[in-house]
Amino acid sequence: MNDQDLRTALHRDAELVGAPSPDLLDQLVQRRQHQRRQRAGIVSAVAAVVVIAAGIPVGSSLLARSDGGPAGPTTVEVTPSVTPEVTPTPAVTPAPTPEATPTPTPQATPTPTSTAASRTNPPSPYWARTASAR
């Protein structure tokens, strides 16, 4: 083949392809913006997972800590007082007058049937109640 044939074939193929799209540059810009948004979304999702993964052990340790429980034994020893001890003076208490003494009132005695019934019929366990309901 000579040069002339190659040129005509090249021109013919170029006419078949057609002209490029006029908004080709806009399409390229939109693709790049989409890629940037996608990367930013992936980075933020990874950061959220890292924060959550780091927060779980911290939260569980805070929940496991007990602030309301009794304190453990103290290691501080009690030091003796430096002030000398003073003997207290005996206090004088007046004798009660006969008018001020209250009269005893009889107390109600519990009925034996209620206590006897509670001893003979203890509450049934949960599994016994559910088995009888089936």
Q: What is the pLDDT of residues 75-125, one digit of tens each?
A: 667 666 666 666 767 667 766 666 655 666 666 665 555 555 455 555 666
| Domain regions of the chain by residue span | 25-63
For residue 17, CA distances in Å to 8, 21, 24, 65 come to 14, 11, 15, 74
Whether the Cβ atoms of residue 65 and residue 59 lie closer than 8 Å to each other: no
pLDDT band at residue 18, thresholds of 50, 70 and 90?
confident
Query: In this model, does residue 1 exceed pLDDT 70?
Result: no
pLDDT digit string, tens, across residues 31-66: 999 999 999 999 999 999 999 998 888 877 777 776
d(CA 64, CA 54): 16
